[in-house]
A and B are shown apart, each in its own frame.
Chain A
Amino acid sequence: MEDINLHFTGDFSAIEKANNLLAALIDNNIQSKPASLGIDPRTVHWKRVMDMNDRALRRIIIGLGGTASGIPRETGFDITAASEIMAILCLSENFHDLKERIGNIFIGFTLDKKPVFARDLNAQGAMAALLKDAIKPNLVQTLEGNPAIIHGGPFANIAQGTNSVLATKMGLSLSDYVVTEAGFGFDLGAEKFLDIKCVSAGLQPQAAVLVATVRALKYHGGVPLADIQKPDAEAVARGTENLEKHLENMLKFNICPVVAINHFADDTEEEIQAITDKCRAMGVKCAVARVHAHGGQGAEELATLVSQVAEACQSDMTPLYDWNWSIEKKIETIATQIYGASAIDYTQQARADLKKIQDLGLEHLPVCIAKTQKSLSDNPQLLGRPANFIVTVREIEIAAGAGFVVPITGNIMRMPGLPAKPAAENIDINEEGKITGLF
């Protein structure tokens, strides 16, 4: 466990290096007279990254120290997982594809308003070389000694939020079943998994498991966190409207759903019943998994159900939208169909970004909407199944290398901070090299 949580096989370090090489090449070009592309430093969005929660690096001024030390400009650090290189690595099929995607990274504009891409700096070869080993999926094992492949970790809001395409294909090449996970709720990670990753890589899920807990549904049903362990089957029933909307969304993709109730010791029969009743009413199969208490044995009933559903599943997954639609139509389709919004509003900035995307000829890219994970809407306070709300698109970022655009509907944290009492204070190592204090 400490091996996975600390450094692992060095993939994040390699991604960090590739990302920061591009940053160095950009600032070098801004500095260099003979090779200058005429980049306008004010239009450069590419940031450096570091795999550390360090809020002091969010906004910095670089290039101080006189003419030999660069042109001063404002920039910042993101955490490595937020790098576009992470998203690129996780969608790449091979080195050729990797280099092409890296070359397509949009950097900014020249002073005479021409777009600049990473390929204009001849960055793609060296950046891909730094990713030589990081592109290979990592094999480890589960507690019960079964194979696990762990590879890539992009965000589920500003990026696609699932492990690499290559890891999924590796798993499917080596075993009969692959179980994989998409970040946050179905509206965020799974929508992107299906509309971006599956379409890009030609993948098809044969079953989709929606995880719910009694306590989370109670929370959606209006119970405050402090009372979450008190039995309240009615609150669970109220909260199932959130589950219901996610199930409706799954059916829109024409995939075969299963609900997994992740069982906790304080769940009551009546509370479980409230969930199974909702599933039955919707014609969706459901199983209780007692993984906390019994490990894999506690998941045998779920496993049997999932394998039955996967083997009987006849339908082909249909993406929600066609990549060739306009950016606005794609955003509107996701927001109304999946989130349940009544309308979309664009800020002036977002309208300007739409025009920029059109001018750059990138309208064919899929959309990767960055939205709060806490609500189906763009307002984190609205639990359950919100209705009659408007989604506001504030700006639209371009991730031309990864191959999508990112409509932003809220505040996105790309460089987290540490809490007042960081977990680091409890981590230690003894003379035998044994690590303690990791959770």
Chain B
Amino acid sequence: MLSDIEIAQGTALKPIKEIASRLRIPEDQLEPYGHYKAKLPLSLIDPEKMRGKKLILVSAISPTPAGEGKTTISIGLSEGLNRIGKQTTVVLREPSLGPVFGIKGGAPEADMHR
């Protein structure tokens, strides 16, 4: 079985410009960090455009060592919504660096992204 990093490294990434153009972000407003990451200027936030949009909160039962998988479901749900034709962005926390060198699950994992 492949590990998460092997799956991620084996997936062809699209240039971040392509992802941004799907969100109709003008190219001159995108602030790329390398080929696959970008910063988004705050001027793209528009209360007018937020109207009528759907915010879906993912939470869980009380966590156990057996695992629940909130991040897995959040990402999977966003992929599923895109598949059924709902234009969706998943919005998550950034992982902490410290726990990366310790044990799995020490921080919010971004296990399906690069």
Contacts and interface: CB of A to CB of B under 8 A. Distances in A.
B79 A299 contact: yes
Q: Which of B9, B47, B56, B88 has the most CB of A within 10 A?
A: B56
Contact of A141 (B36, B47, B65, B100): B36
Interface residues of B, number: 92
Contacts of B46: 173
B107 to A, nearest CB: 7
A146 B113 CA distance: 10
A51 B63 contact: no
B91 A289 contact: no
Main DSSP-derived SS at the A contact region? mixed
Interface string B51-86: 001111111111111111111111111111111101
Contacts of A149: 40, 89-92
B53 A80 contact: no
Interface string A346-381: 000000000000000000000000000111100000
Nearest to A240: B61
Q: Size band of the A side of the interface? A: 35 or more
A86 to B, nearest CB: 10
B31 A136 contact: yes
Interface stretch (A26-34, A117-125, A160-168, A390-398): A160-168
A167 B96 CA distance: 17
B86 to A, nearest CB: 5
B56 to A, nearest CB: 5
Given A1-B9, A138-B40, A187 B96 contact: no
Interface in B84-114: 84, 86-104, 106-108, 110-114
A12 B96 CA distance: 8
Nearest to A427: B101
A204 interface: yes
Contact of B97 (A51, A186, A292, A418): A51
A55 B69 CA distance: 28
A435 interface: yes
Given A4-B110, A422-B102, A374 B63 contact: yes
Given A9-B39, A243-B61, A139 B91 contact: no
A270 B81 CA distance: 28
Interface in A413-439: 416-419, 422-424, 427, 434-439
Given A146-B79, A172-B50, A178-B53, A211 B89 contact: no
A138 B30 CA distance: 10
A135 interface: yes
A418 B103 CA distance: 8
Contacts of A419: 102-103
Interface of A: 1-9, 11-12, 50-54, 79-81, 94, 133, 135-154, 162-163, 166-187, 189-190, 193-194, 203-213, 215-220, 225, 228, 242-243, 246, 255, 260, 262, 289, 291-292, 295-304, 306-307, 310-311, 373-376, 383, 416-419, 422-424, 427, 434-439
Given A209-B56, A209-B73, 12 more contacts: A1-B114, A163-B93, A177-B87, A178-B89, A203-B55, A216-B68, A217-B61, A302-B73, A306-B56, A310-B56, A374-B63, A423-B104
25 contacts: A54-B98, A139-B38, A139-B39, A143-B8, A143-B75, A143-B112, A145-B13, A146-B89, A149-B90, A168-B55, A168-B91, A169-B47, A170-B45, A171-B91, A172-B50, A185-B62, A206-B55, A208-B57, A216-B67, A296-B78, A306-B77, A373-B62, A374-B63, A419-B103, A423-B101
